[in-house]
């Protein structure tokens, strides 16, 4: 198998396509973020990376809070639109038709149409170059009840129709091909 060397770049793909909601001083906004991820289990922490010139950057920096909203196939158009238009020029709530609901433990809204909202408080901000990384502690998770199995209590996020982002395109999540630990699981005789 032949390989090529490329110049350094951001090639970790696919990534979750999330809508980050934020608020400060009576202003609310949402922005599309693909550079988001889990960074710690205990305490639960995540990060998002945002360009300083983005309208939401100042809202997050002022309030030190944000909410990560997972997105679905039905939200794909709104997710893309919120990423290419600025909250300085548009009311993204009315333009996308998405519904804000009050935060539970943060002062910013989450998105009613999102199957999972992760409320976060910023612990630190790292200026990295083109982006600032907001490192945050997860303070609450809001899960869509229809995706919770009534018998087991398991969260069935695979039924949500989540979307991913890869090299400038959005994709539906695919089918499950294994479960954590399946490669070493002992089979019964």
Decide if 6 is inside a domain. Answer: no
Q: Is residue 9 part of a domain?
A: no
Q: Give the domain CATH number at 56.
A: 2.30.110.10
In a domain, 141, yes or no: yes
Total structural domains within the chain: 1
Angstrom distance (rounded) from CA 23 to CA 60: 7
Q: Is residue 5 situated within a structural domain? A: no
Going from the C-alpha of 105 to that of each of 57, 69, 110, the distances in angstroms are: 20, 15, 11
**Residue 172, number of CB atoms within 10 A of its CB:** 11
Cβ pair 79, 32 in contact under 8 A: yes
Q: 71 Cβ partners below 8 Å, 6+ apart?
A: 16, 17, 18, 19, 79, 114, 162, 163
pTM above 0.75, yes or no: yes
What is the phi/psi pair of residue 24, to 5°?
-165, 140
- What pLDDT score does 187 carry? 76
- How big is the CA angle at 62 (ends 95 and 93), to the nearest 5 degrees? 10
Range of the domain at 49: 15-172
The pLDDT averaged over each successive group of 10 residues in the chain (189 residues) is 90 93 97 96 98 97 98 97 96 97 98 98 97 98 95 92 94 87 80
């Amino acid at each position: 198998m032949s390989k090529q060397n490329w110049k350094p770049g951001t090639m970790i793909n696919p990534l979750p396509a999330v809508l980050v909601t934020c608020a400060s001083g009576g202003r609310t906004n949402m922005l599309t973020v693909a550079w988001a991820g889990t960074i710690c289990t205990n305490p639960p922490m995540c990060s998002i990376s945002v360009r300083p010139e983005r309208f939401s950057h100042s809202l997050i920096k002022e309030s030190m809070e944000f909410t990560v909203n997972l997105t679905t196939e039905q939200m794909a158009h709104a997710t893309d639109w919120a990423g290419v238009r600025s909250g300085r020029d548009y009311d993204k709530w009315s333009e996308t038709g998405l519904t804000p609901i009050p935060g539970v433990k943060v002062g910013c809204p989450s998105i009613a149409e999102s199957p999972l909202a992760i409320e976060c408080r910023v612990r630190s901000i790292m200026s990295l170059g083109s982006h600032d990384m907001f490192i945050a502690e997860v303070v609450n998770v809001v899960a869509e009840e229809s995706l919770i199995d009534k018998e087991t209590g398991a969260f069935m996020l695979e039924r949500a129709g989540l979307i991913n982002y890869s090299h400038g395109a959005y994709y539906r999540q695919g089918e499950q091909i294994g479960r954590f630990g399946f490669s070493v699981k002992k089979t019964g005789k």
